[in-house]
Amino acid sequence: MTDTNQERTEDDKAAFLEQLRSSIGGAVNAPLPARDAVNQAMIRHWSDAMTDFNPVYLDADHAAKSAHGDIVAPPAMLNAWGMPGLVPPEAASKQPGVQVYADLDAAGYTSVVATNSEHTYNRYLKLGELVHGSMSVVDVTAEKKTALGIGHFVTTRTEYTTASGEVIGAMTFRILKFKPGTGRMAQVADSDGTATPRTGRPKPGVSRDNRFFWDGIAEGELRIQKCDCGALHHPPMVRCPKCGAYDLGYVVASGRGKVYSHVEPVHPKARAFDYPLVVALIELEEGTRLLSNLVNLDEDQIKIGMDVEVVIQDCNGVELPVFRPVRPPRNETTLRFADVEVGDTLAPCPIPITPTLIVSTAIASRDYQDVHHDRDLAIKRGSPDIFMNILTSSGLSSRFVTDWAGPDAILKDLKIQLGVPNYPYDAMTMTGEVTSRTAGDNGGTVEVTIRGYNRMGNHLTGSISLDLPA
């Protein structure tokens, strides 16, 4: 009897998969126009949310003198133009992929998470152009057991054209449609994968001599003891070792410094600390050193002498000053192809993951999936909190690479694969390395391999190809 049930279940599964796969390679619908032509308002909203202030997207005078000759849309917005929005037009429900999604929803695979996005750009879009998307289903996998839950991966390909039919780009997109509550993630509340609560971090001993320091932390300041003779001391002392004075004041440090040395204790693990734990000696720009932690960096992303800045954050129950890399400034002059070598690395870029970032970027990319803005519904769907959408992961990757390459760099493709989610109150550090270089007629193309790392691991891995001028 059990065998029969089992057989029937397997038969049902096979029939269901056949139904899902019936749309593969089917006729592609007539190109579906975006709701709005490429416009400055949506670009500005995107740029603000992503903090991507490349002037070719925003400044008409600059854009006129650029390689583009006019304002262009950020290339990573490719699929944002055609997003259905909060109240989808009826035509959106007639796309072939949507039937697969509806069938999966009806069978209980109601949760969705995007896992891969690959863009290719034939050229950038200009203001006033109306993007049309033609989507086709490329693949539907058999049911798979994943950390998120039991589900099917669905791969689609969308070709983007202008009103006149010119192909301006394409996207291959992979999502997991899964049954909520069937994965490991749903049961795990703690980032280290255990349900046992951690013990709190040891509380600092506060005395008359160091109270100014902890008062400063409460105020969001890093205060360093300073004597009238000019000497700086940390940790605070009773008496100046240089001149012997007892009456000591302080200066508010800028919070900027460099990594002087670091060590990573691995064993035995103390439950009061979050791991990986990087203990670092920071040389502050004021000229003294401070023992602290480096956060949001994987071991191989840390370099002696790298620029870091303080962030005061809750470290398992205690507000402490810790350090993370400094966001590199946007390059205003475009790199030349000859200036770039294979093996060049991009300065690490920290991206604090705030609820505002997650929500504003989701809306700027016209992604109204509730898991990106509604915490209660996200929790109900088995996620510990809201999380970043994949268009934002693409947008931030594009920003990271173009801020390094400069405004006249032209993206040719952008490929990312997602790992662990970006939840609020974490930070992702982007790193990149030039992995190939191909000379062209005028300059050439370089490929940058990228990674975005948060405290749970890699949020994204991928690559971006871009043309650089000669």
Structural contact between residues 458 and 468, judged by C-beta atoms closer than 8 angstroms: no
Provide the strand spans (E) within 1-83: 32-33
Structural contact between residues 218 and 204, judged by C-beta atoms closer than 8 angstroms: no
The only residue of 38, 224, 227, 428 in contact with Zn ion, by rule CB under 5 A: 227
Structural contact between residues 301 and 406, judged by C-beta atoms closer than 8 angstroms: no
Tokens of 178: 């899964």
Tokens of 166: 């010119």
Q: Work out how close the CB of 224 gets to Zn ion at its nearest, in angstroms, rounded to a whole number.
A: 13
The only residue of 102, 163, 229, 252 in contact with Zn ion, by rule CB under 5 A: 229
| DSSP string computed for 38-58 | S-HHHHHHHHHHHT---HHHH
* Cα–Cα distance measured from residue 152 to residue 178, given in angstroms and rounded to the nearest whole number: 7
Is residue 60 part of the contact set for Zn ion (CB under 5 A)? Answer: no
**CB nearer to Zn ion: pick between 240 and 388:** 240
Question: How many positions of this chain bind Zn ion (CB under 5 A)?
Answer: 7
**CB nearer to Zn ion: pick between 223 and 327:** 223
Per-residue x/- track, 230-269, Zn ion (CB under 5 A): -x--------x-xx-x------------------------
Q: Work out how close the CB of 232 gets to Zn ion at its nearest, in angstroms, rounded to a whole number.
A: 10
Stretch that binds Zn ion, among 171-179, 228-236, 277-285, 288-296 (CB under 5 A): 228-236
**CB nearer to Zn ion: pick between 231 and 315:** 231
Q: Work out how close the CB of 238 gets to Zn ion at its nearest, in angstroms, rounded to a whole number.
A: 12
Structural contact between residues 118 and 48, judged by C-beta atoms closer than 8 angstroms: no
Q: Is 130 exposed, middle or buried (0-12, 13-18, 19+ CB in 10 A)?
A: middle
**CB nearer to Zn ion: pick between 240 and 253:** 240
Stretch that binds Zn ion, among 127-135, 227-235, 265-273, 382-390 (CB under 5 A): 227-235
**CB nearer to Zn ion: pick between 243 and 304:** 243
**CB nearer to Zn ion: pick between 246 and 425:** 246
Q: How far apart are the first and last CA of the chain?
A: 73
Stretch that binds Zn ion, among 43-51, 222-230, 322-330, 388-396 (CB under 5 A): 222-230
Q: Work out how close the CB of 245 gets to Zn ion at its nearest, in angstroms, rounded to a whole number.
A: 5
Backbone angles phi, psi at 228, to 5 degrees: -60, -25
Residue 152: how many other CB atoms lie within 10 Å: 23
**CB nearer to Zn ion: pick between 107 and 231:** 231
Structural contact between residues 257 and 285, judged by C-beta atoms closer than 8 angstroms: yes
Q: Work out how close the CB of 242 gets to Zn ion at its nearest, in angstroms, rounded to a whole number.
A: 5
Structural contact between residues 215 and 236, judged by C-beta atoms closer than 8 angstroms: no
Side chain identity at residue 50, one-letter code:
M
Provide the strand spans (E) within 208-326: 223-226, 232-233, 249-252, 256-263, 278-284, 289-294, 307-315, 318-325
How far apart, in Å, are the Cα atoms of 46 and each of 281, 333, 363, 368?
A: 38, 23, 9, 15
Interacting residues of 462 by C-beta distance below 8 A, sequence separation 6+: 397, 414, 415, 416, 417, 449, 450, 451
**CB nearer to Zn ion: pick between 15 and 245:** 245
Going by DSSP bridges, is the β-strand pair 289-294/444-454 parallel, antiparallel, or unpaired? unpaired
Per-residue x/- track, 395-414, Zn ion (CB under 5 A): --------------------
**CB nearer to Zn ion: pick between 204 and 241:** 241
Tokens of 287: 């000229």
Q: Work out how close the CB of 211 gets to Zn ion at its nearest, in angstroms, rounded to a whole number.
A: 19
Q: Work out how close the CB of 213 gets to Zn ion at its nearest, in angstroms, rounded to a whole number.
A: 17
**CB nearer to Zn ion: pick between 200 and 241:** 241
Q: By three-state DSSP, how is residue 358 classified? A: helix
Q: Work out how close the CB of 240 gets to Zn ion at its nearest, in angstroms, rounded to a whole number.
A: 3
Q: Work out how close the CB of 292 gets to Zn ion at its nearest, in angstroms, rounded to a whole number.
A: 24
Structural contact between residues 281 and 308, judged by C-beta atoms closer than 8 angstroms: no
Q: Work out how close the CB of 225 gets to Zn ion at its nearest, in angstroms, rounded to a whole number.
A: 10
Q: Work out how close the CB of 437 gets to Zn ion at its nearest, in angstroms, rounded to a whole number.
A: 55
**CB nearer to Zn ion: pick between 233 and 437:** 233
**Is the preceding omega at residue 268 within 30 degrees of 0, hence cis?**
yes
**CB nearer to Zn ion: pick between 32 and 227:** 227
Q: Work out how close the CB of 246 gets to Zn ion at its nearest, in angstroms, rounded to a whole number.
A: 10
Can you give the binding site for Zn ion, defined by CB under 5 A? 227, 229, 231, 240, 242-243, 245
